[in-house]
Amino acid sequence: MGKDSKTLCKWDKDEIKDNLKELKKIVAEPRYVCKKCGRAAKKEEHLCKPEPLDK
Ligand SMILES: [Zn+2]
């Protein structure tokens, strides 16, 4: 699995720090929340157990 397909859920704190610019894009205007990890993202592909926010 390449870095591009890794879900936000699996980022560790160093990856968050190193990819802060990308992270800001992913979490801007969140449409989905992860039922497992409690993280939010704009696209469901970034989360391991995505659930639409507007439900
Ligand atoms: Zn998750």
Taking only the tens place, the pLDDT of each residue in 1-15 is: 445 568 999 999 999
Q: How far is the CA of 22 from the centre of ligand 1 (A)?
A: 17
Dihedral (C-alpha) 35, 41, 43, 46: value to the nearest 10 degrees?
Answer: -70
Tell me what pLDDT residue 43 has: 96
Asked whether 50 and 30 are in contact (CB, 8 A), the reply is: no
How far apart CA 43 and CA 7 sit, in angstroms, is 10
How far apart CA 49 and CA 42 sit, in angstroms, is 14
Q: How many CB atoms lie within 10 A of CB 18?
A: 12
Ranges of each domain in the chain: 3-52
Tell me what pLDDT residue 1 has: 45
How far apart CA 49 and CA 34 sit, in angstroms, is 5
Tell me what pLDDT residue 4 has: 59
Q: How far is the CA of 27 from the centre of ligand 1 (A)?
A: 13
Taking only the tens place, the pLDDT of each residue in 1-55 is: 445 568 999 999 999 999 999 999 999 999 999 999 999 999 999 999 999 997 6
Q: How far is the CA of 10 from the centre of ligand 1 (A)?
A: 7
